[in-house]
A and B are shown apart, each in its own frame.
Chain A
Amino acid sequence: MPRRLAQAVVVLWAAFTLSFVVLYLLPGDAVLTKLGSAEGGVTASDAEVAAARAAHGLDDPLPVQYGKRLLAALRGDFGTSVSTGDDATHLVLSALPPTLAVTGLALVLAVLFGGGVAVLGTYTRQRWLGQLLLSLPPLGISLPSFWVGLVLIQVFSFQLRLVPALGSTGFASLVLPAVTLALPTGAIIGQVLAKSLRTQLAEPYVEVVLAKGASRGRVHFGHALRGAALPALTLVGVVAGNLLAGSVVTETVFARDGVGRVTAAAVTAQDIPVVQAVIVLAAFFFVAVNLAVDLLYPLLDPRLAAPAARTGKVTADA
């Protein structure tokens, strides 16, 4: 476990460094852009630009900038927002609760839909039904989610008047964004789970259990699903990241408050400190979820808890 924690810290540091390289080293000067647009297109004087650069710490040599920013980031300080002047970390974290609400619901829906489709699609003896169900995940992956959100608004808000179209008040406003967000994620879960279920069902132990008199249902849900859930679980880190990234689009479509909205606005304003805070937050989610999965693994698969399983290399290359 200490080894895993160390790896997690390295990934976070690397994500910070990657975002520093992308955001601070590439051409395109956020301060100039910012000053240019703030004055309504009038170019700011050299003195003003220099003052703004100094205020954002952009006039130090790059290694010094990197060191300073890394030290600050360790304290949770990513600098101040170029456009609002607020603390970037605070801006992103205060937008987190509404995003987590949608993301959480979306995760539940994705697991239910994706899992349901995969399990039923492989269980049914009706060939056409199986084919229909298993053709849903590839379809779900192919639909642009910004468009799915708009279609859902059209149908459920404007035609059927079931739920409010926009805004972030009440549980009803959660449903459509969560469904939109869940669709691509559920499709990925469905695809992976169906594949590993098929692999499991072809294993010799299935025949043994059937020969001993177990029902098809028992084999399917009791044995194969349990074995198939493990490979699907490695996806969870990716899934969490996708949900957070997907919220940029869904929150824009549904005009909801949250991290995604903050991100979209920050990119529009080329607000580098805020964008960097979001990137590191996403990496943090990825790392945290993967750590949680690593802790869960031995509970699901006793073989991994055995000392013979060695540390590391269990999920590292998944």
Chain B
Amino acid sequence: MPDLSVRDTGLHLLRRPGLVLSGVVIALVLLAAVAPALFTGQDPIAGVPAERLRGPSPSHLFGTDETGRDVFARVVHGAALSLRATVIAVLVALVSGAALGLLAGFRGGWLDSVVMRVIDVVQAVPAILLSLALVTALGFGTTNVAIAVGVSNLAAFARLMRAEVLRVRSGAFVEAARASGVRWSGVLGRHVLPNALGPVLVLATLTFGTAVLEVSALSFLGFGATPPTPEWGALVAGGRGFLATAWWMTTFPGLTVAAVVLATNRLGRALDGERSGR
């Protein structure tokens, strides 16, 4: 609805406090990834041994860990690495999936069949297992984990993109463009891609939440960042040995992951509803 006034938009948002809150959460996390110093002045790597395993307090919002490091500082500084991995994963899924879908939908014929059968198989193997296999082959580390998660999520993008291409391809305006002598490559760039972009971006938003979960699960299992580096999943894993004595070490990093996923999913659903005209 392009002709909404500022006041209407404000009212629209006021009636959706959850959506506003989600936006705030995402904005804060992005800010933490770009400028962690805005949130905390404490060192995420070097601890203060005298302040080991302290509970949450005004000076240590999320408490401290077994070497006296501030957990809040580690969560804030972990945002950059976790978000970078998530963005890489979503980009890998989006670009490779969309390219495959575009190819399949546009060329059609045997190529279409081959690509889509491969996609079928990719979907027959659960995403986490496929990404574990990829991590086995590629080796460990946050970037490899991100690539693995991205590849294991490309199937949905390929399917969506192919469906969109097929839908737009049969449109009268594409036929008109072809009839007036535009080449297929021109039609692709001018008509097909812009039309397909909306649904693909909605899927990207929803995949973002999945990717945060999968990246943090793999790093919880120990395939991501190496120990002193703060990364959300690894932080939760680090607190496992202190469940009985220091609940804050696992609770707060886990809550952060949950909040980010909830917020992006809420945003994704709002975009989805907006697109389909609710």
By a beta-carbon cutoff of 8 Å, the part of chain A in contact with chain B is 11, 14-15, 18-19, 22-23, 26-28, 30, 138-139, 141-147, 150-151, 153-154, 158, 165, 241-242, 244-246, 248-249, 252-253, 263-264, 266-268, 270-272, 275-276, 278-279, 282-283, 286-287
Chain B residues with Cβ below 8 Å from A139 are 262
A32 CB → nearest B CB, Å = 11
Q: Taking the nearest CB of chain B, how far is it from the CB of A212, in angstroms?
A: 33
In the complex, which of the residues A27, A144, A244 contacts B213, with contact meaning CB atoms closer than 8 Å? A144
Question: In the complex, are the beta carbons of B257 and A241 less than 8 A apart?
Answer: no
Interface residues of B in 121-149 (CB under 8 A from A): 121-122, 124-130, 132-139
Distance, CA A22 to CA B250, complexed state (A): 33
B122 touches A11 (CB 8 A): no
A153 touches B243 (CB 8 A): yes
Decide if A147 touches B117 in the complex (CB within 8 Å).
Answer: no
> Chain A nearest CB: distance from B117 CB in Å?
7
Bound complex: CA A165 to CA B253 (Å) = 21
A196 to chain B, nearest CB (A): 17
Closest B residue by C-beta to A263: B132
Question: Which of A19, A144, A268 has its CB near the most chain B CB atoms (within 10 A)?
Answer: A144
Chain A CB within 8 A of B113 CB? no
Interface contact B136-A11, CB-CB below 8 Å: no
Residues of A with C-beta under 8 A to B139:
28, 270
Q: Could you give, for residues 215-253 of chain B, a 1 whenever the CB lies within 8 Å of some chain A CB and a 0 otherwise?
A: 011001111000000000100110110011001001101
Chain A residues within 8 Å of B240, by CB: 150, 253
CB of A138 within 8 A of CB of B138, answer no
Complex CA–CA separation, A32 to B121 (angstroms): 30
Residue in contact with A26 in the complex, picked from B122, B138, B250, CB distance below 8 Å: B138
How far apart are the CA atoms of A138 and B273 in the complex, in Å? 15
Given known contacts A138-B269, A279-B125, A158 and B243 CB-to-CB distance under 8 angstroms: yes
Say yes or no for B254: interface residue by CB 8 A criterion. yes
With A14-B124, A263-B129, A272-B136 known, 16 other A-B pairs at CB within 8 A are A19-B125, A27-B138, A142-B262, A144-B213, A144-B216, A146-B220, A146-B237, A147-B250, A147-B257, A150-B250, A248-B129, A266-B136, A267-B136, A270-B139, A286-B124, A286-B126
Chain B residues, Cβ within 8 Å of A248: 128-129, 132, 221
Min CB distance B158 to A, Å, is 14
Give Cα A28–Cα B257 distance, bound, in whole angstroms: 31
Partner of B217, one of A18, A146, A241: A146
Given contacts A146-B220, A158-B243, contact A151 B251 (CB under 8 A): yes
Nearest B residue to A17, CB-CB: B121
Contact call A267/B262, Cβ cutoff below 8 A: no
Report whether A141 and B265 are in contact in the complex, using a CB–CB cutoff of 8 Å.
Answer: yes
- CA of A248 to CA of B269, assembled, Å: 29
Which of B132, B222, B236 is in CB contact (< 8 Å) with A275? Answer: B132
B63 contacts chain A at the CB level, 8 A cutoff: no
Which A residues are CB-close (under 8 A) to B78? none
Asked whether A144 lies within 8 Å of B254 as measured between CB atoms, the reply is yes
A154 x B247 contact (CB < 8 A)? yes
B209 located at the interface, meaning its Cβ lies under 8 Å from any Cβ of chain A in the complex:
yes
Establish whether residues A144 and B121, one from each chain, have CB atoms under 8 Å apart when the complex forms. no
Q: Please give the distance in Å from B84's CB to the nearest CB on chain A.
A: 18
Q: Closest B-chain residue to A146, C-beta based? A: B220
Given the complex of chains A and B, what is the CA–CA distance between A268 and B221 in angstroms? 9
- Chain B facing A: main interface SS: helix
CB distance from B220 to the nearest CB of A (A): 5
| Nearest CB of A to B119, in Å | 11
B246 to chain A, nearest CB (A): 10
**Residue B261 lies at the interface, judged by CB distance under 8 Å to chain A:** yes
Instruction: Return the 5 tightest CB-CB contacts between A and B, nearest first.
Output: A147-B254, A245-B126, A26-B137, A14-B121, A241-B126
Q: Please, how many angstroms separate the alpha-carbon atoms of A266 and B135 in the complex?
A: 11
Q: What are 21 A-B pairs at a CB distance below 8 A?
A: A19-B133, A23-B133, A27-B137, A28-B138, A142-B209, A142-B265, A143-B258, A144-B213, A144-B236, A144-B257, A147-B236, A147-B253, A147-B255, A241-B126, A242-B126, A252-B220, A253-B240, A267-B132, A267-B221, A283-B121, A283-B124
Report yes or no: B217 in contact with A145, Cβ–Cβ below 8 A. Answer: yes
Contacts of A146 in B (CB 8 A): 216-217, 220-221, 233, 236-237, 254
Contacts of A28 in B (CB 8 A): 137-139
Q: Are B121 and A18 closer than 8 Å at their CB atoms?
A: yes
User: For residue B221, which residues in chain A have a CB less than 8 angstroms away from its CB?
Assistant: 146, 248-249, 252, 264, 267
Are A245's CB and B121's CB within 8 A?
no
Q: Closest residue to A24 on the B side, CB-wise?
A: B137
Task: Assess the B269–A279 pair: CB atoms within 8 A.
Answer: no
B43 at the interface (CB under 8 A from A): no
Instruction: Chain A residues near B255: list those with CB within 8 A.
Output: 147
Q: Across the interface, do B258 and A282 meet the contact criterion of CB distance under 8 Å?
A: no
Within the assembled complex, what's the spacing in Å between the Cα atoms of A232 and B118?
Answer: 25
**In the assembly, what is the distance between CA of A276 and CA of B244, in Å?**
37
Q: By the criterion CB–CB under 8 Å, are B262 and A249 in contact?
A: no
Residue of A nearest to B212 (CB): A144
Rounded to whole angstroms, the CA-CA distance of A263 and B129 in the bound complex is 9
Contact at B261–A142, with CB atoms within 8 Å? yes
Interface assignment of B175: CB less than 8 Å from any CB of chain A: no
Contact yes or no, B236 A150, CB < 8 A = yes
CA distance A282 to B216 in the complex (A): 22
Q: Which residues of A contact B213 (CB under 8 A)?
A: 142, 144
When chains A and B are docked, how far (Å) is the Cα of A18 from the Cα of B130?
A: 10
Assuming the contacts A142-B262, A144-B261, A146-B217, asked whether A151 and B254 have C-beta atoms less than 8 A apart, the reply is: yes
